[in-house]
Chain A
Amino acid sequence: MPAYLDHASTTPPHPAARAALLAALDEGWADPARLYREGRRARMLLDAARETVAGVLGARADEVSFCASGTVAAHLAVLGTAAARRRAGDLVLVSAVEHSSVLHAAERHERAGGRTHTVGVDGYGRVDPAGFTPPPGTALVSLQHANHEVGTVQPLAAVTEVAHAAGVPVHTDAAMTVGQLPVDVGELGVDLLTASGHKFGGPPGVGILVVRSGTRWANPMPADERESGRAPGFPNLPAIVAAAAALHARAGELAAERERLGALTARLRARLPELVDDVELLGDPDPAGRLPHLVAFSCLYVAGEALLGELDRAGIAVSSGSSCTSDTLTPSHVLVAMGALSHGNIRVSFGRGSTEADLSALLDVVPGAVTAIRERAGAVGL
């Protein structure tokens, strides 16, 4: 039975988003910067979407900007804060397990003459807040809310406390948590937050950038008047409206979905070691310390690419951090930083449409697939 179990990569559009997208294509096609009737109508839709997103995230509407993607939002957050705080310092602190968008922004900062320091993680992929104590000359701390490959939730509030004690602002990449866990910028204490619309049931092409008022931030890109000067270009208004509708709907479903998907991941974590020899479950075993919808594991002596292939033939879609599945043939930097086995790696992530039947389909296929791959490689009884 086919099963789409890669919702952490992207998830199908929420029904509320589909409806909003179609309506906004009809009603919100005009330029929201124009003052005639059609423009005003578009502006109202954009403002309402901004209010909705701000409300769900606990921010003020004027703190929320929309850009082209979660990746662009992370680039703008990191580089914009580093640019604005150049006089305070040139050091950016990031964790070793950040999404590539944050790491690539940090690399760009370095190439421009700045410094980056990478904070290591424990075996669950979690940072120690003390590691984020900012040395003098720190411009920014950037720490994900939860990890995208193994689901570990980071001690963000504690890190924020440590950073703020030194007067250093904090950015969080919340692409994995917005729409999955309650996310409130005030409670987290962060100064900047970024997220991605398609991760929670919106269409692709919507990044969310929250810059709390009072945060020093300067657009690192060429000047543009759109989105209060924070994100360039004509906004993808229908997609923004749809993403806001998806986020609003997710907020209403969140408590029930957390419980429902949490039960699926708990069962997967319990069953895998019973069904498969030499499988290592990754991330925090405590449900309070991990995302409710994601399980990552590695199978000893198994090529991740072969396992993806076997699962794909059975109609099951998952992702992998193993080197043989990456374009560059390098293992996932997250798995390496954790000291986890990087081969035979699989990430399973459930979503709104996922059912018990999807989990059963996965559990029906994985044990036989792992055994067959190990037999082909002559890796039995090792």
Chain B
Amino acid sequence: MSDARGGGTADVVIDALGRRCPLPIIDLARRIGDVPVGGTIELLADDPAAAADVAAWCRLRGQELLGSAGHAHLVRRLA
């Protein structure tokens, strides 16, 4: 369990540790369709740009960033 908020478990977890930006964001975009609208997806990414880029991607794509903690970023699919 590595939920970014320390709460429940995400519907899908993507391990993009060690992958350089923008690859973690591409991984996230590829998999967002795997969860239903309202579902959550957790991205594990340790690239220094990941936190900023997950937030920017959510803004650009109309998804919700529920939170980031360390290398874990929890996103809720809204669209």
Chain B positions within 8 Å of A364 at CB level: none
6 CB contacts below 8 A, A to B, read A280-B60, A330-B48, A330-B49, A341-B52, A341-B60, A377-B22
Starting from the known contacts A324-B21, A341-B60, A343-B53, 4 additional A-B residue pairs (CB-CB under 8 Å) come to A301-B25, A323-B47, A331-B53, A339-B52
- For the residues of B in contact with A, the DSSP-based class is helix
Contact A378 B22 (CB under 8 A): no
- Annotate B25-44 by CB proximity to A: 1 below 8 A, 0 otherwise: 11001100000000000000
Q: Is B17 positioned at the interface, with any CB of A under 8 Å from its CB?
A: no
Return the contact of A335 from the options B20, B30, B52 (Cβ within 8 A): B52
Q: What residue of chain A has the Cβ atom nearest to residue B59's Cβ?
A: A339
The answer for the CA separation of A138 and B7 in the assembled complex, in Å, is 41
- For the residues of A in contact with B, the DSSP-based class is loop
Return the contact of A339 from the options B29, B30, B55 (Cβ within 8 A): B55
Q: What residue of chain B has the Cβ atom nearest to residue A303's Cβ?
A: B22
Number of interface residues, chain B, beta carbon within 8 A: 18
- Annotate A305-339 by CB proximity to B: 1 below 8 A, 0 otherwise: 00000000000000000111000011100011001
Contact B20 A324 (CB under 8 A): yes
Indicate the size class of the contact surface on chain A. 20 to 34
**A90 vs chain B, min Cβ distance (A):** 31
Q: Is A106 positioned at the interface, with any CB of B under 8 Å from its CB?
A: no
The answer for the CA separation of A377 and B27 in the assembled complex, in Å, is 10
Q: What residue of chain B has the Cβ atom nearest to residue A336's Cβ?
A: B52
Chain B positions within 8 Å of A377 at CB level: 22-23, 26
